[in-house]
């Protein structure tokens, strides 16, 4: 049985997810090694609103790059940093599940993702000229959101892509128009 949260509660949770995606620039990326063992690494990420994806810029030499090429199923953890004096069990966090896809250099998707990445990390522009670095799009399929102690829910892919679009937009208050259509798990 699915419990549907009141619109006000869903809107608050959506605002929390958008805020995390907007303010945090690194994630823990979980990939699978060839023998099936999990491998976790830190990656900077950007948001490409038009496609509703997260963008990584990775070296072909990195362990996670080979893992994503072999097995595109990935998970990313985006979380608020620990704050002195605050309980760590209530840290807001979003665990995304998705599919990784290496982008073809020069393609429209590559150009959009490159622009989104450089908008967030302009200092990375010289790295985009290195031959072993590639852009990877993470296409989100769903997520688990923890908005604080006792506030957890599943987020479907459509709501997650909407949160990415809102988070990539100009900073300011989030007005989740159409939040009645959101589907919490």
- pTM comes to 0.83
Given pLDDT bands bounded at 50, 70 and 90, which one contains residue 41?
A: very high
Q: Is residue 142 part of a domain?
A: yes
Q: Where are the beta strands (DSSP E) in 21-88?
A: 26-32, 38-44, 46-48, 53-59, 73-79
Within 13 Å, how many C-alpha atoms sit on residue 139's CB side?
A: 9
Distance CA 110, CA 120 (A): 15
Q: Is residue 2 part of a domain?
A: no
Q: Is residue 185 part of a domain?
A: no
What is the extent of the structural domain holding 56? 7-80+91-169
**What is the per-residue pLDDT across 101-139, written as a single tens digit (0 to 9) for each?**
999 999 999 999 999 999 999 999 998 888 889 999 999
CATH of the domain at 164: 2.30.110.10
- Give mean pLDDT, residues 145-150: 84
Q: Give the pLDDT of residue 121.
A: 96
Q: Is residue 178 part of a domain?
A: no
Residue 164: both structure tokens together: 């990415």
- Is the pLDDT at 174 greater than 60? The verdict is no
Burial of 67 (0-12, 13-18, 19+ CB in 10 A): buried
């Amino acid at each position: 049985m699915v419990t549907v949260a009141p619109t006000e509660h869903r809107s608050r949770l959506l605002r929390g997810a958008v805020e995390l995606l907007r303010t945090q620039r690194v994630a823990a990326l979980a990939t699978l090694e060839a023998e099936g063992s999990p491998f976790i690494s830190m990656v900077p990420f950007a948001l490409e609103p038009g496609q509703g994806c997260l963008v990584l810029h990775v070296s072909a030499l990195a362990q996670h790059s080979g893992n994503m090429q072999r097995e595109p199923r990935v998970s990313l953890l985006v979380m608020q940093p620990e704050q002195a004096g605050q309980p760590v069990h209530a840290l807001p966090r979003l665990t995304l599940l998705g599919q990784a896809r290496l982008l073809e250099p020069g393609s429209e998707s590559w150009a959009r993702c490159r622009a989104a990445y450089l908008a967030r990390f302009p200092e990375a522009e010289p790295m985009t000229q290195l031959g072993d670095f590639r852009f990877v799009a993470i296409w989100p399929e769903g997520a688990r959101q923890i908005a604080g102690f006792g506030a957890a829910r599943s987020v479907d892919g459509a709501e997650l892509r909407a949160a990415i679009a809102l988070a990539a937009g100009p900073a300011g208050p989030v007005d989740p128009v159409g939040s009645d259509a959101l589907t919490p798990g």
